[in-house]
Structure 1
Amino acid sequence: MTTYHLTVKNESNEDWDIFTFQKNPILNLNSPALVSLAWFTKYTAAHSQCKFKWDLEYNFMWSETGNLTPGVVFDASQSFLADPFATGLATAANAGDQAVLSYNAEQEYFEFNNEGPLVTNPSPGTLYIACDSSVPNGVASVGIGMSNAGTFALPALTNITAEFTPDPTYYVAANVSIQQGQVLEEEISNAVELQFAGVTSLTATFNPDHTWSVTKS
C-alpha cells in the first residue's frame, strides 16, 4: 500500500496549528450536509517543521457530536475498516463497503452492528453507513476516515443511509487554534492544495508573508 509523506516548514514568525484536510467536490454536490474535518493537526513553532504521513486505508466512524456545526469536534468512538471496492458488511475484523449504526436506548449507547439493512445494489467505489430505526435524529454523526483519522461526516438520521464516494483532494492550512476532527468552515482562507502528481512526498512551506510554497521532497 502506498504511503504519502508531507513535511511542513513553518518559516513564519509565529507559532501555528498546522492541519491537513480533504475536499471532495462530488460529495459536496450530492450531499449538501457533508462537512470536512480537520484530518491531522500538529502545533508547530515558528521556524520549525512537522511531518505527516498516511495511506489509502479507509475507515467507517461515528461520534456523538450533536449538530454538525463548524467548531464541533468529531471524536470517533468506533472505527471499522472500510473498502469501497469490497462487498458486504464491515465488522471489527473485516473491511466492507457498508456499515450499520444502531442505538441501544436502554443503555444509551451507539454501535456498529453486525447485521441490519444493507444496500441491495451498491455502487462500486461508494461507502455506505445505514442508520437503522433505533438511531435518534440530532445526536450522533457518521463519517469516513483515512489512516484511522476522520475526514468527512454527515448527521446520523433515523432510517437514512449515508453515502460517501471517496475521491479526495488534499489540503494543508494554518490556524491559531484547531483540534483534530474539528468541523471546518465551508471555505478555509489559509490553505493550499497538495497535488501528489506522480510523487508520494511533498514539502509545504508556510512563508513569512503567510503564503504557501509546495515542492517535491
Structure 2
Amino acid sequence: MAENNSNGTVFQINFVNNSSNSGTFMVFQKDPNMAMPGINSLAWITKYANPKTQGFFSWTINYNFSWMESESITSGITSGTSQSLPAGEGLLTMNGITLTYDKGYSFIDPVDQTPEGSLYIKEDGTIPLDRASVGIGMCGAPTFMIQAQPNMELVFTPTPEYWIAFGDFTQSQVINVQEMTNSAQVSFPPGITKMNATLNEDNSWTIIPD
C-alpha cells in the first residue's frame, strides 16, 4: 500500500550492506528523455554505512529549482554557495523562474509557465560564464545540472529513473553515470512504494520489493 503525507506519496529504498567494505550508499537519477547537451546527474542523497548495517532513503516527488556556484561542472567537482527553491506543485503552477546575478546568484520572479508539465529556468543577461551550474532537484537537493550561461532559457520535463550505487560519494557532487561500474536501477512496480536494495558479499546488487 502506498504511504502518503501532506506532500504526496512517499517512496522508500531500504539498503543493506552485506559486503566487507565501508562506504557510502548513494541514490542518483537518470532521465532517458532529458537530451539537453551538457546536462549532468548529481549525487542526490547519500548515507555512509559500515559492513552488516542497514538504513533507508525516503522522498516524495516534489521538484525544486537549484543553482550551485562553481568554476566548472565536471565529474568530482563540488560547490559551496547554492540555493534551492520549491517548484510549483505537479509542475502546474509556479513552474518557471529566473536566475540572476548581483554580486551573487539568486532566483527571482517565479511565474506560471506554459505549457504545463515542465520546469522552466530563464537565465538573464547578468549571468557570468562558467561560474555556476543551474538545474532542477527533488525534495530540496539537486538532481540535474547544466553550466549557467547568460540569456538562455532551459526547459526540463523530468521523467526520472532511480539508481543506487556504493562507493566514495559526497552529496551534490557531479557524477559521470557512464563510468558508474557498480550501480543498479531501482524501479517501483505499480502500487509499490518501498524497495529493498542489498549490496551482496560479492558486491553485486539484489533489488526486490519490500
**Which residue identity lines up with residue 214 of structure 1 in the other structure?**
I
Give the C-alpha shift of residue 125 in structure 1: 1.4
Question: Is contact 1:74-1:183 (8 Å) kept?
Answer: no
What RMSD in Å do the two structures reach over aligned CA positions?
1.7
Give the C-alpha shift of residue 34 in structure 1: 0.3
Q: Any residues of structure 2 matched to 1:61-210 within 5 Å, and which?
A: 61-74=66-79, 77-83=82-88, 85-87=91-93, 96-104=94-102, 108-114=103-109, 122-175=114-167, 177-187=168-178, 188-198=180-190, 199-210=192-203
2:44 matches 1:53? no
Greater fraction strand? 2
Q: Of the candidates 2, 8, 20, which is equivalent to residue 9 of structure 2?
A: 2
**Which residue identity lines up with residue 13 of structure 2 in the other structure?**
L
Question: Is contact 2:15-2:55 (8 Å) kept?
Answer: yes
The one-character-per-residue Cα deviations of 1:85-123 (angstroms, maximum 9, x if unpaired) are 324xxxxxxxx111101111xxx21111237xx79x733
The one-character-per-residue Cα deviations of 1:110-149 (angstroms, maximum 9, x if unpaired) are 111237xx79x73321111111011111011111111111
**Which residue identity lines up with residue 166 of structure 1 in the other structure?**
P
> Could you say what secondary structure the match of 1:43 adopts?
strand
The one-character-per-residue Cα deviations of 1:179-216 (angstroms, maximum 9, x if unpaired) are 00010013111110011112000110000111000111
Gaps of 5+ in 2: 1-7
**Which residue identity lines up with residue 201 of structure 2 in the other structure?**
P
**1:179 and 1:76 mapped to 2: Cα distance?**
15
Percent of matched pairs sharing the same residue: 34
C-alpha spacing 1:81/1:23, structure 2 compared with 1 (3 Å): same
**Which residue identity lines up with residue 52 of structure 1 in the other structure?**
F
Question: Is contact 2:75-2:174 (8 Å) kept?
Answer: yes
Give the C-alpha shift of residue 66 in structure 1: 2.0
Gaps of 5+ in 1: 88-95
**1:145 and 1:75 mapped to 2: Cα distance?**
16
